[in-house]
C-alpha cells in the first residue's frame, strides 16, 4: 500500500527540501498540474510552483503537509 500524498492541482504543499546543503529544511509551493508515476520506481512526482516563481518537479515522498485549494 502506497501512503504518499497525491495532491490536486492548486494545493499548497510543505515538503522536505531535497537540497541537504540548504539551511532551509522545509519549503512550500503550489501544485500546478497532475502527478505522474515513474514506471521504474513507482514514485509519484508533481510539478510545483515555488515562491520565487521557479518550477520544480517534486517526488511526493518528500511532501509532509497538503492544504487543499480554496478555489474550484
Contact (Cβ atoms closer than 8 angstroms) between residue 11 and residue 66: yes
Give per-residue pLDDT as tens, 10-54: 999 999 998 899 999 999 999 999 999 999 999 999 999 998 999
Cell of 63: 511532501
Region of poorest pLDDT, from 37-41, 61-65, 68-72: 68-72
pLDDT at residue number 70: 73
Instruction: Give the residue carrying C-alpha cell 531535497.
Output: 18
Beta pairing, strands 12-16 & 55-59: unpaired
pLDDT at residue number 43: 93
Amino acid at each position: 500500500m502506497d501512503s504518499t500524498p497525491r495532491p490536486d492541482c492548486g494545493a499548497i504543499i510543505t515538503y522536505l527540501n531535497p537540497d541537504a546543503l540548504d539551511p532551509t529544511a522545509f519549503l512550500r509551493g503550489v501544485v500546478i498540474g497532475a502527478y505522474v508515476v515513474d514506471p521504474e520506481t513507482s514514485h509519484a512526482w508533481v510539478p510545483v510552483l515555488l515562491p520565487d516563481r521557479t518550477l520544480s518537479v517534486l517526488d511526493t515522498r518528500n511532501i509532509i503537509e497538503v492544504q487543499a485549494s480554496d478555489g474550484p
